[in-house]
Structure 1
């Protein structure tokens, strides 16, 4: 029988943001990460409310199916609580949060997921991404319109199609039940990690002999080394044989502190707006998961792709024209040069330079003088065989005349 042997949770504000809008929880059976959206309008509040509500599901269940249902119900309840909070505090309108959570129940894991935080599984040295991002760019990847690499830098990568918040009363939540075995290592993280550290880097950290806390700290450091433009929250869960756990339930990020608003909405707004952003940061935001909106975004993306192709095509054409123009001008310059050399057994005047451009010769015989090389003095013959440069055609004719006058009589 498998069970949780060790776990750890950690959260860091990152290098750009001035407050932490992520929340994380590592409990007895339940583990989750919530990434708030809405900036100073409520991202931290959203993730904290959702986390504290879902934490109530950290208990024993008679079956994995019961755990899956309870986890889904907890996310729906958190969504309702967020909507009620916005109703009471209008300044928080638009806040929302992603949630990726799992409950470990002996040899099985119940999972609930919405948004773009992620759950990974390392098993027998192989890393797998268990959840699918509910983002616009993931739709493009799934439909084959862009690659995973292009999705990392896509201008719409911050658009979420599904979140908990005050928009939908019954958001669609992905749930599943998977088997787990001793030796498995689970990772739950916000996009502050997955958007900066590659899967290769994540796998290397999870494969290291470090314990759960050591792995979490290493991944935070790698995200910071990569610039950490967003908050970074990580929960690591190690599966082993039944044993007495020593780690205690841990809450990190926004959920670890009291909510930043009170009973009075105006007071809550004053508290929230007192903290100013130090640097401009790309905000994650939610858009409705509707076919019309998706079609509009896809068409906009297609227009952007067409503009990008036209720009590249024009750039390539201009580059080719520049190369051809430079080559033409260079060739014209070579044809203004002359030298005296040997053509067969006679002395000849060549037009061009003594160079070849691949299979293309940059010189040709301009005039065969009919002066036999054998008639030249030894020194002059050696000079002609090595070629004699001329500054102009007139200079080349003078050189030939001098050779003719100095030939052996």
Structure 2
């Protein structure tokens, strides 16, 4: 049965990249996002080849089992396409792509996934990430070593542990089948969206209930407003719903929309580095698939980074506490240059410090007992002394005491 619903696909180069290495597809039953590996020559070719191979699956299926097997076979064949392409164009060695694909079969969604592009399901106001990122930082999250929020800003967040590339003819895929229902909104996207727009903002946008095209435009705008350092590709699929049903004409975006991106171009001379004579220059890397022996080095590097972070945090706390302590010490020393005249239980006393207290801590101490009895003072003088009299110096305090003594003597 042909899928009943509406969909859209858009792709944008972003604000930093010079070319778009993403590809996207929204058809009658099939929906795909592929993110070419930006730091490798031919990322656009890789994503285009994958979408070109997969779009042949955009037909009705008699069962979810048949559809799942078709997805697995097509993605594996895409890996063979990449390997064959590198044989013809050795300067493209190292190219690869993520693949997140969704096949609708009756009331089910058949999913295949490799890499760090994502598939989300928005249902009943809740956004759920359906696929798991095949990244180094996701392993750190799964092991409890970092939080999902820390993963968003981790310096190794783009290190892929699994990818569709030109080295492995049998890529390890995640495939599964999920029931879907009218009102569901499926979102397929490259990390150019998720790296900039967080899940709460994505959920809020999907909840507006706008048509897929307007929803995708809104998400893209948020990514661009956030700087869009990478290509952004978005595919939105509404199951049933109020919007017009799918027209039957597939939408192909990104590199796959350019026929020359799908074809393997003839080799041509290019300036190459003596370090990589068979690889043409590419943009700054956004993805990197490590060799197995490099994984332990990455883990050790992450441990060292965490230790440095903890040491830095401890040193920072010590420095802050030291500055606070120093400030308090200088403040206390300043208070000890001040004097005031007050009263103890039975006489007039010169105090060193200031009249204020910090909680239970007194900022003054008796400095000199004048031996002037309080009961020798007039009511006014006694009230004034008990309220304390500030002095600018010890000499000034003694002058005040002399005046009080004269008043007390006169009272006798």
Q: Same fold (TM over 0.5)?
A: yes
Once residues 276 and 47 of structure 1 are traced to their aligned partners in structure 2, the CA distance between those partners, rounded to angstroms, is 15
1:15-63: CA deviation from partner (whole Å, max 9, x where unpaired) = 2212111100001111000001143621112111111111111112221
Question: What is the alpha-carbon distance in structure 2 between the residues aligned to residue 246 and residue 266 of structure 1?
Answer: 41
* Structure 1 counterpart of 2:92: 92
1:391 and 2:387 matched = no
Query: For residues 98 and 145 of structure 2, what CA distance do their matches in structure 1 show?
Result: 25
Question: Residues of 2 paired with 1:262 and 1:138: CA distance?
Answer: 34
Q: 1:198-243 CA deviation, whole Å, 9 max, x = no partner?
A: 1111111222121111111111112112221111101011112899
**5 Å matches for 1:141-180?**
141-180=141-180
- Residue 55 of structure 1 corresponds to 55
Q: Does the 8 Å contact 2:206/2:215 carry over to 1?
A: yes
Higher alpha-carbon deviation: 175-184 or 38-47? 38-47
Could you say if the C-alpha distance between residues 154 and 250 of structure 1 is closer, same or farther in structure 2, counting changes exceeding 3 Å? same
Between 393-402 and 351-360, the greater mean CA deviation after superposition: 393-402
Cα pair distance change 1:275/1:135, threshold 3 Å: closer
SS of structure 1 residue aligned to 2:260:
coil
Does the Cα contact within 8 Å between 1:12 and 1:253 map onto a contact in 2? yes
Query: Structure 2: how far apart are the matches of 1:177 and 1:262?
Result: 34
The DSSP-based 3-state class of the residue aligned with 1:193 is: helix
- Tell me which residue corresponds to 2:367: 366
User: Quick one: structure 1 residues 296 and 226, their matched pair in 2 at CA, closer, same or farther if it must change by over 3 Å?
Assistant: same
Contact 1:49 1:81 in 2 (8 A): yes
Matched, 1:197 2:200: no
CA contact (8 A) 1:111 1:177 kept: yes
How far apart are the structure 1 equivalents of 2:340 and 2:39? 75
TM-superposed CA distance for 1:8, in Å, is: 0.5
Matches of 2:282 and 2:175 in 1, distance apart?
37
How many angstroms does 1:125 deviate by? Answer: 1.9
CA distance in 2, matches of 1:110, 1:269: 44
- With over 3 angstroms needed to count, the CA separation of the structure-2 counterparts of 1:263 and 1:183, relative to structure 1, is closer
SS state of the match for residue 133, structure 1?
A: coil
Matched, 1:285 2:288: yes
Q: Distance in 1 between matches of 2:171 and 2:146?
A: 27
- Measured after TM superposition, the shift of residue 250 of structure 1 is 0.3
Looking at structure 2, the residues matched to 121 and 180 of structure 1 have their Cα atoms a distance apart, in angstroms, of: 9
Q: 1:182 is paired with a residue of what secondary structure? A: coil
SS at match of 2:150: helix
**Structure 2 CA distance for aligned equivalents of residues 206 and 16 of structure 1:** 26
Q: 1:274 Cα deviation (Å)?
A: 11
197 and 276 in structure 1: CA distance in 2 versus 1, 3 angstrom threshold: same
CA RMSD of aligned residues (A): 2.4
C-alpha offsets along residues 316-352 of structure 1, whole Å, 9 cap, x if unaligned?
A: 1222222222212221221121111122342111110
Cα drift, residue 131 of structure 1: 0.5
CA–CA distance in structure 1, aligned partners of residues 307 and 46 of structure 2: 38
Q: Displacement, 1:248?
A: 2.2
User: 1:146, CA displacement in angstroms?
Assistant: 0.7
Contact 1:122 1:184 (C-alpha < 8 Å) held by counterparts: yes
How many residue pairs align between the two structures?
Answer: 402
1:267-291: per-residue Cα shift (whole Å, max 9, x none)?
Answer: 6889xx99996xxx55221113x3x
What corresponds to 2:268 in structure 1? Answer: 266
Give the Å deviation of 1:393: 2.2
Distance 2:31 2:378 in 1: 97
Separation in structure 1 between the aligned mates of residue 22 and residue 95 of structure 2, nearest angstrom: 13
Corresponding position of 2:275: none
What SS does the aligned partner of 1:353 have?
Answer: strand
Distance in 1 separating the partners of 2:281 and 2:90: 19
**SS state of the match for residue 183, structure 2?**
coil
Match of 1:355 in 2: 356
Q: Is the 8 A contact 1:18 1:276 kept in 2?
A: no
1:241-266 deviations in Å (ceiling 9; x for gaps): 89963252100011111335764311
In structure 2, what is the Cα distance between the partners aligned to 1:91 and 1:83?
A: 12
Partners of 2:182 and 2:349 in 1: CA distance: 87
* Structure 2: runs of 5+ lacking an equivalent: 273-278
User: When the two structures are superposed, what TM-score results if normalisation uses the length of structure 1?
Assistant: 0.92
Superposition deviation, residue 373 in structure 1: 3.2
8 A contact 2:41–2:282 mirrored in 1: no
**Deviation of the 1:378 alpha carbon:** 5.5
Check conservation: 1:33, 1:234, Cα contact below 8 A. Answer: yes
TM-score by length of 2: 0.91
The worse-fitting range, judged by mean Cα deviation, of 294-303 and 117-126 is: 294-303
Name whichever of 256-265 and 92-101 sits farther off. Answer: 256-265
